[in-house]
């Protein structure tokens, strides 16, 4: 609401809504959760970093040590924040997260840790080293999705 629209009547209505107590809706009426938006954005950025590396691995792009190293750094950072992004049980209609994440939180956390370890273990010094170490990370993405994400799993959509 802009200040221009913030007329006395609107003001009263707002006060009345607030007085209705904590059950009054405090989020936007579209039913979308900013937590879900953030965790989806985190996952999408991980996919972008993975795409850089898988293209090099498959020979679709030239191996570039600096780009590979920066993708590795990005992946360490993002995998290490998976837990934080999923800690609270939030859902909205866009989400493909399975609710058992929050019933099996220790296992979910362990899988996030496994992904972080695999990201740290990426070796970007040479193409053969990348080829050797990337499948471990890919596997950790896919195995968590298998259990906790309700869309068909594939190498093209993960
Ligand atoms: C610990 C579990 C876990 C790990 C590890 C994990 N993901 Fe996810 N990922 C999820 C969950 C859960 C969702 C569904 C989130 C939602 O829809 O609310 C998801 C969703 C996604 C999406 C879809 C986002 C969207 O907009 O719908 C992509 C892309 C993705 N992950 C990529 C990756 C990549 C790449 C990796 C590995 C580097 C990875 N994920 C590792 C749990 C994980």
Tell me the two tokens of residue 42: 């985190």
Q: Answer yes or no: is the C-beta of 95 below 6 A from any ligand 1 atom.
A: yes
Domain count within the chain = 1
- Residue 70 Cα to ligand 1 midpoint, Å, equals 20
Q: Answer yes or no: is the C-beta of 145 below 6 A from any ligand 1 atom.
A: yes
- Residue 109 Cα to ligand 1 midpoint, Å, equals 13
Q: Answer yes or no: is the C-beta of 77 below 6 A from any ligand 1 atom.
A: no
Q: What is the pLDDT of residue 30?
A: 77
157 domain residue, yes or no: no
Helix or strand run (H / E) with residue 135:
helix 127-148
SS3 content of the chain, % helix, strand, coil (to 5): 65, 0, 35
Q: Which residue range is the domain that position 138 belongs to?
A: 31-148
70 domain residue, yes or no: yes
Segment 38-50 shows an average pLDDT of: 97
Segment 40-59 shows an average pLDDT of: 97
Mutate which of 97, 141, 143 for ligand 1 pocket (most atoms within 8 A of beta carbon)? 141
25 domain residue, yes or no: no
Q: For residue range 61-101, list pLDDT tens digits in order.
A: 999 999 999 999 999 999 999 999 999 999 999 999 999 99
Q: Answer yes or no: is the C-beta of 46 below 6 A from any ligand 1 atom.
A: yes
Q: Answer yes or no: is the C-beta of 33 below 6 A from any ligand 1 atom.
A: no
Beta bridge partner(s), residue 97: 149
18 domain residue, yes or no: no
120 domain residue, yes or no: yes
Compute the half-sphere exposure of residue 36: CA atoms within 13 Å on the CB side of its CA.
Answer: 14
Q: For residue range 101-143, list pLDDT tens digits in order.
A: 999 999 999 999 999 999 999 999 999 999 999 999 999 999 9
114 domain residue, yes or no: yes
CATH code, domain carrying 71: 1.20.120.10
- pTM, entire model: 0.82
49 domain residue, yes or no: yes
Q: Answer yes or no: is the C-beta of 148 below 6 A from any ligand 1 atom.
A: yes
What is the residue with the minimal CA distance to atom 22 of ligand 1? Answer: 43
23 domain residue, yes or no: no
């Amino acid at each position: 609401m802009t200040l221009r629209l913030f007329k006395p009547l609107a003001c009263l209505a707002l006060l009345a809504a607030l007085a209705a107590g904590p059950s009054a809706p405090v989020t936007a009426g579209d039913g979308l959760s900013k937590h879900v938006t953030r965790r989806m954005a985190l996952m999408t950025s991980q996919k972008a970093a993975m795409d850089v590396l898988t293209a090099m691995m498959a020979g679709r792009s030239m191996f570039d040590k600096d780009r590979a190293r920066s993708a590795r750094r990005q992946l360490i950072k993002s995998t290490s924040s998976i837990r934080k992004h999923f800690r609270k049980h939030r859902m909205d209609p866009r989400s493909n997260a399975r609710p058992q994440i929050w019933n099996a939180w220790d296992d979910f956390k362990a899988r996030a840790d496994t992904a972080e370890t695999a990201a740290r273990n990426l070796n970007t010094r040479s193409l053969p080293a990348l080829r050797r170490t990337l499948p471990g990370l890919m596997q950790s993405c896919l195995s968590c999705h298998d259990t906790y994400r309700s869309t068909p799993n594939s190498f093209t959509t993960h």
